[in-house]
Amino acid sequence: MHNSWPGVTAGKEAGMLVVAVPSIPKQGGLYNSADEVINSLLDLHLEKWGLPPFDDWVEDTLPIEPCYIGGPVVKGFGRGSKILGIPTANLPAENFSSVLSEHTSGVYFGWAGLSSQGIFKMVMSIGWNPYFDNAEKTVEPWLLHDFGEDFYGEELRLAIVGYIRPEANFPTLESLIARIHEDGRIAERALDLPIYAGYKDSPYLKISCNEVITGRPV
């Protein structure tokens, strides 16, 4: 396993099977000589190589150390509702640059607390959205609930508790939409499991009226 092109080349010349984990984002094409290119070690499946699989995956999801982020809902690219039919609640990326740098790009899920409406299941992408070729890494949560109207400006808090898959490009818009809906179904089922369900009661998600007004925890 290597994260550099020279390492991949040396491994192949030695007759080894090589899995590449690129250290530079969006540069996977430089590692085509590897037997497999993965986004991060989260995506390493040992059974592909004749080894016993990891036993920490649960119902097509991988539990992770919970991460908590939040901020006011802002307008995004405008393609969630208009192009995909999947409205996302975008957050200002500058509020959590450390999260963006520490978390590998991919599809995650967890719980979302919305100041005026309660707590909901959510699935989200962290990354560059290869189909649209974003210039910057973004966080785009999709709250798995039908809302009657927009809630721009409202305080949104997220508890990210699990991982589903790496981000990927898709040949058509229809295949992208189908995969996002499948991600939503996986998240819906997983969040009912005890390993994830308890995070719904996190105090971080419960935003009081006073906190919304003052901007301070109570």
Give catalytic residue positions: 140
Give the total residue count for the chain: 218
Mark 97-110 as b/e (b = at least 16 C-beta within 10 Å): eebbeebbbbbbbb
Per DSSP, what are the bridge partners of residue 162? 63, 109
Residue 218 is encoded by which pair of tokens? 């109570």
Q: 191 and 109 in contact (C-beta within 8 Å)? A: yes
Tokens 């006073």 map to which residue? 210
| Rounded Cα–Cα distance for residues 67 and 111 (Å) | 11
Q: Where are the alpha helices (DSSP H) in the chain?
A: 5-13, 79, 97-102, 173-190, 194-197, 209-214
Can you tell me whether residue 110 is helix, strand or coil? Answer: strand
Query: Hey, how many other C-beta atoms are within 10 angstroms of the C-beta on 181?
Result: 15
Q: 71 and 89 in contact (C-beta within 8 Å)? A: no
At residue 12, what is the residue type?
K
| Rounded Cα–Cα distance for residues 77 and 175 (Å) | 20
